[in-house]
């Protein structure tokens, strides 16, 4: 039994089984996609969960295409509320301006091809798609700035690429959540 903050009986917390609480998900996404081109994102916006447009865009001929899917990664996303002093001074001292998201992607696939890939996307901006292993998918509503870091060499430590993306979204914007993913695009 645990205390759920979402179930109160007047002023007292009600103790009940954790499974009855609102669902929580571990940050264990295994695929991420980067959409570099606005035209590509506009084509996907019609239906982010349909695989036809994804397949067409992924089949591009450039070394870093309009859309790139990276599988077998670990993803962490941390949000932070952005506030400002309330200019009207009525009621609350601060007001919410939006949310700042910081995305961390860890890729343990250290290969020569990945060196070129992570160098090519460093300091670029892209819409980011996070694909969870439970079938959900999140898509950023605006582009995020990408910074990649080459693997280090430490005694006894695994080598891995890491990528950090961040963006402050204005109120009402952030990530779109989809209950399903396009078939055959993301693999784990």
Provide the pLDDT for residue 15.
44
Q: Give the C-alpha separation, 89 to 163, whole Å.
A: 40
Residue that the structure tokens 């009986």 belong to: 9
pLDDT digits (tens, 9 = 90+) for 175-188: 999 999 999 999 97
Q: Give the C-alpha separation, 7 to 169, whole Å.
A: 30
28: pLDDT confidence band, cut at 50, 70 and 90? Answer: low
pLDDT score of 30 more than 90: no
Q: Give the chain's mean pLDDT.
A: 82
Give me the mean pLDDT over the 143-147 stretch.
96
Do 142 and 173 contact (CB within 8 A), yes or no? yes
Provide the pLDDT for residue 88.
73
pLDDT digits (tens, 9 = 90+) for 97-118: 889 999 999 998 888 888 889 9
pLDDT digits (tens, 9 = 90+) for 35-59: 999 999 999 999 999 999 999 888 8
């Amino acid at each position: 039994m645990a205390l759920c903050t979402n179930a109160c009986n007047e002023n007292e917390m009600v103790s009940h089984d954790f499974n009855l609480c609102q669902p929580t998900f571990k940050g264990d996404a295994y695929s991420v996609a980067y959409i570099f081109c606005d035209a590509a994102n506009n084509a996907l916006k019609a239906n982010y969960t349909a695989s036809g447009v994804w397949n067409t865009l992924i089949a591009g001929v450039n070394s870093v295409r309009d859309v790139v899917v990276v599988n077998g990664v670990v993803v962490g996303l941390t949000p932070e509320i952005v506030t400002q002093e309330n200019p009207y001074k009525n009621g609350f001292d601060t007001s919410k301006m939006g949310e700042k998201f910081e995305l961390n992607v860890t890729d343990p696939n250290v290969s020569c091809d990945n060196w070129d890939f992570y160098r090519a996307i460093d300091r670029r901006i892209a819409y980011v798609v996070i694909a969870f292993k439970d079938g959900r998918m999140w898509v950023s509503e605006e582009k995020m700035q990408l910074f990649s870091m080459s693997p280090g060499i430490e005694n006894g430590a695994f080598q891995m690429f890491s990528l950090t993306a961040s963006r402050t979204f204005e109120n009402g914007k952030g990530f779109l959540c989809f209950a399903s993913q396009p078939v055959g695009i993301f693999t784990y």
